[in-house]
Structure 1
Amino acid sequence: MKLQIEKAVYGGSCLAHQSEDAEAGKAVFVPFTLPGEIVQAHLMGEKSGFAEASLQQVLTASEDRVQARCTHFGECGGCQYQHANYSAQIKMKTAILQETLERAGLSELPEIQIHTGQPWEYRNRVRMRVAIVDSVFRVGYNRRSSNEFLPIQECPISAPLLWRAAAAIPQIASEDSLAGRWTQRVTEVEFFINEDEKKLQASLFLKKDQAGFKEFCDRMKDLIPELIGAGVFLLPSSGTQRRAQKPRSLSTWGAEGLSYRAADESYWISRGGFFQVNRSLMDELIHIVSSERQGTLAWDLYAGVGLFSRVLTRGFKLVVAVEVAGEDLARSFKGPGRHAVEATTLDFLRSAVIQRERPDLIVMDPPRAGIGAEVCVLLGRIAAPRIVYVSCDPVTLARDLKMLIDVGYTFEELHMVDMFPQTFHLETVVVLRK
């Protein structure tokens, strides 16, 4: 098919129509294209409302098209936008956010404020697969749209220390030693670094345990002096319940986590704990959400390790941080004016409604699934003067915002924070007032 590309859509593809008449022609999604381009595409599959196609040839290229920096772009499932210059990526994401909110029935939107950082080497965490390919031990990711292993030789969106650590795994595996034989049992590895790349944590995943973990860590420390701690985990056995099971911790070496400095605060993150991945925009995100906000009581829901809670204490007499997996939070968020609660946000809000508690500010940074209908109803009953909603998924954000607007909130600020350059993912911060 010859197609005229119209616009970018959430998920990484762009939209065209099989007919010049957009009303009559079926929508076609084509990855690795850009708005305004004319392309030759191959139909891959059709559904009732749309079709999917693969790009065969760019007939008329956009002036925003560039050569991808990574040699694995297109094969690897990690990035979708390396064929676009960075300013074009921002335009596409901003347009996607605007349209997604409008399609949910949200009107009178404030102007989207855009925040960008370093487009490369920004990630502070990677998780990779490990496998033997052609008798050679390799690290890699999944091939795009599949579970097939793709060996890689670079990852330019990751911090240099992360790639150095990843490259050390095959080197150790090739050595005739106890550490080398143990490494060959590894199936996945996760690395996490602090803000200045001086500390590294490693999590290694096996399907079967064996001796040699300490020897591996000692050898890894020789190659990567920044390594301060590591843990080895046993992956669940295959089966229908595997995804619901958590890896079982077997052994640890060194420190159990690391301290991460952001916004003039120090955060303790246990090995495997959640933390924002973008090194260059962390302070900016914290500032948008937390700085220059004042009052008596603030709630930080879905608080994680307290990324926003700590800065909120500068402007509020009491900050209550709520997190269902709250071990790191309880350990570090202590002292006058600080209260950590280990509970689900839903349970916390149900209790707060009964107690008739009403904070001056509510900050929320939920997982990709959003907050959902019952939380929105409870927030409407609590009626805090301001809500700051941080979201990594514009679709679930739009759904939740529509419900919050319906219970009496209005828009005050709208921010697009590009925490995930070279990918279709985007972070949004919305400030609502009652």
Structure 2
Amino acid sequence: MKLRIEKAIYGGSGLAHQTEGKDAGKAIFVPFTLPGELVEAQRSEEKSSFGEAKLLNIIEPSANRIEQRCTHFGECGGCHYQHADYAAQIEMKHEILRETLERAGLTDPLQIQTHTNKPWHYRNRIRLRAAKFEGNLRVGYLRRASAEFLPIQMCPISAPLLFKAAEALLQLAQQDPNASRWMQAATEIELFTKADQTKLQITLFVSEEPAKGFIDLCTKLQQLIPQLVGAGTAILSTEAGRGRKVQKIKQGTSWGTEGLNYTAANESYWVSRGGFFQVNRFLIDELVNLVTSNRSGTLAWDLFAGVGLFSRALTKTFKQVVAVEAAADDLTRTFKGEGRRAIAATTLDFLRAAVVQRERPDLIVLDPPRAGVGLEVCSLLARLKTKHIVHVSCDPVTLGRDLKAMVDSGYRLAELHMIDLFPQTFHLETVAILQQ
């Protein structure tokens, strides 16, 4: 069928409406298309309220369509927008964010301020699959919309050092029986580097460790990749729990340092191997400045604090900063000293206790995972009546839900920023400033 693409939607596809047949008017989602294009597509999946289609041919291409940079684009499940020039990517994300918030009921017009940087080689961390393919050990990702292994030869959104190190591991495996044994035991490999690519950490995910030889593997790899400062294994196991299987991870053999000192926004953060840190090495400083600049007072709470990315910056302008994180090993180890308090707890548990106490912060920073903060947290925040809240979000749908609850409780959405931490993909980061 022929379809005219009307707009981009969250998830990476273009939206069109079927014009012919018994399903005329039905919404059709077509990946790898751009607004305004006339395309030929074939129905691939049918839902009650919409259909999905596979792109067959571009009849009338958009002026914003460009050649992809990665040879795996379209097959790989990682990128969605390499066929669009970068300005068009930003415009699509801008409109997706605006429409998503409007659908959530946030209809007051508010200018979305956009923040960008280099759109390639930005990732400081990648996690690759490892498997045999046509008789050879390869690294790769999953094919789009499947669990099938896709061997890759490049990854232009990752820092160059990361894929170079993965290639070095494969090279070692071809030359050295011990390295081959370890690589065959690995199902996934995670690589993490500093912003300047001067240090590297590697984790091998295995179901069972080979008997010996990990130290030898690491020392030989360091000869090929001098930036390697630490490596370890993560042993995977599956256990039954509440009617479903749960994957458990146990730390195995280790070599070198246990993490990296990552410099961002003029601060040094200790990030343990496997610990969470923002992935865009070009925009972390901008994100920290957006969240923390021009804010001061007596007390600030940093909820979902991670390693304390925002907490450290806030200590410069607040007398006391409380950082709350459920997985708080790195935070409690490093966020110490006068005016600093690290708490190992969920945000929900912390707020439940806080509402019955007299302590009230001047500022609350929220940086939740993709699921958002949730309606109970929003209700507790409304009871606290903190004058200023900064909400960082990586999902516009859950952000819309949470912001609508906060606005209904009396907060005003004062500023809205879209920061493009994930170029070439449909993912976007938002910073919302709320005031009483």
TM, length-normalised to structure 2: 0.97
Deviations 1:333-354 (A, max 9, x none): 1111111111000010011101
CA distance in 1, matches of 2:337, 2:407: 36
**Which residue does 1:120 correspond to in 2?**
120
Unaligned runs of 5+ in 2: none
Please state how far the C-alpha of 1:356 moved relative to its aligned partner: 2.9
Please state how far the C-alpha of 1:92 moved relative to its aligned partner: 0.1
Deviations 1:202-226 (A, max 9, x none): 1101122212211111111111110
**Which residue does 1:133 correspond to in 2?**
133
The 8 Å contact of residues 121 and 160 in structure 1, kept in 2 or not, is answered as yes
Please state how far the C-alpha of 1:275 moved relative to its aligned partner: 0.2
How many residue pairs match? The answer is 433
Amino acid at match of 1:47: K
**Which residue does 1:11 correspond to in 2?**
11
**Which residue does 1:80 correspond to in 2?**
80
SS at structure 2 position matched to 1:378: helix
CA distance in 1, matches of 2:196, 2:214: 27
SS at structure 2 position matched to 1:366: coil
**Which residue does 1:203 correspond to in 2?**
203
Please state how far the C-alpha of 1:283 moved relative to its aligned partner: 0.3
**Which residue does 2:91 correspond to in 1?**
91
Deviations 1:357-402 (A, max 9, x none): 2111000000000010110000000010010000000000000111
Please state how far the C-alpha of 1:24 moved relative to its aligned partner: 5.9
**Which residue does 2:394 correspond to in 1?**
392
CA distance in 2, matches of 1:411, 1:248: 43
- After TM superposition, list the pairs within 5 Å mapping 1:20-419 onto structure 2: 25-210=25-210, 211-237=212-238, 244-419=246-421
Amino acid at match of 1:157: I
Please state how far the C-alpha of 1:183 moved relative to its aligned partner: 2.2
Change (3 A) 1:239 1:166: farther
CA distance in 2, matches of 1:242, 1:148: 22
Change (3 A) 1:207 1:242: farther
The 8 Å contact of residues 206 and 233 in structure 1, kept in 2 or not, is answered as yes
The 8 Å contact of residues 130 and 183 in structure 2, kept in 1 or not, is answered as no
Identity of aligned residues (%): 62
Please state how far the C-alpha of 1:154 moved relative to its aligned partner: 0.2
SS at structure 1 position matched to 2:312: helix
The 8 Å contact of residues 300 and 322 in structure 1, kept in 2 or not, is answered as yes
CA distance in 2, matches of 1:61, 1:177: 51
SS at structure 2 position matched to 1:80: coil
SS at structure 1 position matched to 2:175: coil
Change (3 A) 1:244 1:237: closer
Please state how far the C-alpha of 1:243 moved relative to its aligned partner: 6.0
The 8 Å contact of residues 109 and 411 in structure 1, kept in 2 or not, is answered as no
Amino acid at match of 2:359: E
SS at structure 1 position matched to 2:248: coil
CA distance in 1, matches of 2:198, 2:431: 30
CA distance in 2, matches of 1:376, 1:197: 39
Please state how far the C-alpha of 1:307 moved relative to its aligned partner: 0.3
Deviations 1:170-219 (A, max 9, x none): 11111243233222211110000011100000110112221221111111
CA distance in 2, matches of 1:155, 1:242: 34
